[in-house]
């Protein structure tokens, strides 16, 4: 019963995580132990992980080849954690009916950082609208290449304060961009601001369609 419960829980985690992130492949080694059998020599394993993001809990399913074993193949479900370019897993080998520990290489990805062009020299029709909870001044403005209004910050304001200047990146062309995630803010359209007020800028992630809005 405990094995059935663990299997069901891991499969549920796998299904949930797979719907929320890009999958990844792990190549590494596995060792089977317990379950009424003797520990097996390490085998070569390949597993599909529910996420390719580093510093992320994952579920996995895979196959393992154990050279020289009476039952040379195993099929497992596992759960564990992704690190930088690697993953460590604990699971259950369904064919050999033993628990399994695995580790190996994964091409993990860090969270994407979106740098918004936030240099005052890029902007026109600028007017102050509010002060964010962290003390950063918010402005409504248009980019010089766009007729759409946005609400966000000015890089030059942030450079004047030690606690915020790390969010500013100087580009090769000498103009400044801002990592809004480091401020706990996001840039929004003026329509979003007027509809939601301060709540519009507080989430730290950009909407998926946001890159297109800058053109």
Per-10-residue mean pLDDT of the chain, 215 residues long, equals 44 43 86 79 93 87 91 93 92 93 86 77 96 95 94 96 92 90 91 94 56 44
Q: What is the pLDDT of residue 5?
A: 41
Residues 106 and 78: their CA atoms lie apart, in Å, by 15
User: What's the pTM value of the predicted model, to 2 decimals?
Assistant: 0.48
The pLDDT, as a whole number, for residue 56 is 84
- What is the layout of strands, in order, in the sheet containing 168-170? 115-117, 176-179, 168-170
Gap between the Cα atoms of 53 and 110, Å rounded: 6
Domain ranges of the chain: 2-106, 115-213
Residue 23 has a CB neighbour count (10 Å cut-off) of 14
CA-closest candidate to residue 180, choices 140, 162, 207, 212? 207
**147 Cβ neighbours under 8 A, 6+ residues apart:** none
Start-end of H helices in the chain: 2-20, 155-159, 190-196, 210-213
* Interstrand relation of 137-143 and 149-152 (parallel, antiparallel or unpaired): antiparallel
pLDDT score of 124: 96
pLDDT of residue 127: 97
What per-residue confidence (pLDDT) applies to 123?
96
Q: Give residue 17's pLDDT.
A: 42
44-63 burial, b at 16+ Cβ within 10 Å, e below that, comes to ebebbbbbbbbebebbbbbb
């Amino acid at each position: 019963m405990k094995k059935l419960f663990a299997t069901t829980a891991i499969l549920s985690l796998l299904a949930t995580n797979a719907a929320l992130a890009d999958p990844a492949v792990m190549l590494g080694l596995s060792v089977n132990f317990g379950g009424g059998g003797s520990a097996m020599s390490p085998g070569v394993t390949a597993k599909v992980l529910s996420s390719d993001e580093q510093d992320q809990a994952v579920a996995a399913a895979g196959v393992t080849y154990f050279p020289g074993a009476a039952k040379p193949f195993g099929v497992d479900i596992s759960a564990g954690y992704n690190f930088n370019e690697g993953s460590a897993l604990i699971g259950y080998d369904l064919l050999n009916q033993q628990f399994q520990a695995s580790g190996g290489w994964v091409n993990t990805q860090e969270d994407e950082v979106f740098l918004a062009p936030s240099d005052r020299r890029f902007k026109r029709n600028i007017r102050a609208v509010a002060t964010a909870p962290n003390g950063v001044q918010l402005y409504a403005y248009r980019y010089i290449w766009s007729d759409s209004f946005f609400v966000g910050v000015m890089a030059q304001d942030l450079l004047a304060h030690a606690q915020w200047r790390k969010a500013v990146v100087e580009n090769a062309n000498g103009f400044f961009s801002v990592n809004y995630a480091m401020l706990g803010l996001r840039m929004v359209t003026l329509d979003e601001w007027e509809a939601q007020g301060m709540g519009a800028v507080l989430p730290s992630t950009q909407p998926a369609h946001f890159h297109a809005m800058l053109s």
